[in-house]
């Protein structure tokens, strides 16, 4: 019969010799979120079991990724010439060039990028460097256009995919929308927006 203290000692020696102690130096070099997930998974593994730890680590990592992506949306403001199909050429139109993904996690930040009351009567929102990922992003675009429309301003949406433009028409309920989709290019990406069936 093996004494429990001897068995515990052997297990600790095995752990000590198999652990890569050099990996502790990486803690200062990896992102804080990754270091937190490593510590969390280790704690849950010791406290409960490995299956729960993997599940919790995966969920935490996914939420962290969504949070990180939601903060990447930004805009660059410029002045451009606009040839709307419904009216005369406008020489200097304020243009918001959107950068970054637009999805459920970034819709609040997206709506804060605009100065609706201070903007001129005609505004272009350019999605060349952005991508609309889901239905909540379409709602955010529609709500922003409604905010402009409620004070008599017109929004021109440039470089939305044809799928986004079609879904946006379905999202807007009643009357003429306060936006116009312009410059849908054949080289624009064709992708589906995640929506409820």
Residue 111 is predicted with a pLDDT of 92
Portion of the chain with pLDDT greater than 90, in percent: 32
What mean pLDDT do residues 75-84 have? 87
Segment 102-157, tens digit of pLDDT? 998 899 999 999 999 999 989 999 998 888 888 899 999 999 998 998 898 889 88
Mean pLDDT of the chain: 85
pLDDT band at 24 (very low <50, low <70, confident <90, very high): confident
**Cα 102 to Cα 69: distance, rounded to the nearest angstrom:** 9
Quote the tokens at residue 129. Answer: 């460097």
Q: By the 8 A CB rule, do 158 and 183 touch?
A: yes
Mean pLDDT is highest, among 54-58, 105-109, 186-190, for: 54-58
In the chain, what is the straight-line distance between the N-terminal and C-terminal CA atoms, in Å?
A: 64
Q: b/e map of 158-176 (b: 16 or more CB within 10 Å)?
A: bbbbebbbebbeeebeeee
State how beta strands 90-102 and 179-182 pair.
unpaired
Tokens found for residue 35: 């270091």
Does the structure show a pLDDT above 70 at 186?
no
What is the spatial distance between Cα 47 and Cα 41, in angstroms, rounded to a whole number? 10
């Amino acid at each position: 019969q093996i004494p429990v203290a001897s068995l515990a000692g052997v297990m600790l020696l095995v752990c000590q010799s198999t652990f890569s102690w050099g990996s502790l130096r990486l803690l200062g070099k990896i992102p804080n979120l990754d270091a937190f997930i490593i510590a969390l998974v280790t704690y849950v593994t010791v406290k409960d079991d490995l299956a729960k730890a993997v599940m919790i680590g995966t969920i935490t990592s996914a939420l962290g990724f969504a949070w990180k992506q939601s903060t990447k949306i930004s805009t660059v403001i410029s002045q451009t010439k606009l040839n709307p199909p419904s009216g005369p050429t406008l020489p200097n139109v304020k243009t918001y060039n959107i950068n970054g993904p637009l999805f459920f996690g970034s819709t609040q930040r997206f709506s804060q990028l605009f100065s609706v009351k201070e903007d001129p009567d005609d505004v272009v929102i350019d999605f060349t460097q952005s991508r609309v990922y889901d239905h909540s992003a379409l709602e955010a675009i529609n709500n922003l256009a409604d905010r402009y429309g409620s004070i008599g301003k017109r929004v021109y949406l440039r470089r939305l995919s044809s799928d986004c433009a079609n879904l946006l028409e379905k999202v807007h309920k009643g009357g003429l929308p306060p936006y116009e989709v312009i410059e849908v290019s054949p080289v624009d990406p064709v992708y589906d927006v995640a929506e409820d069936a």
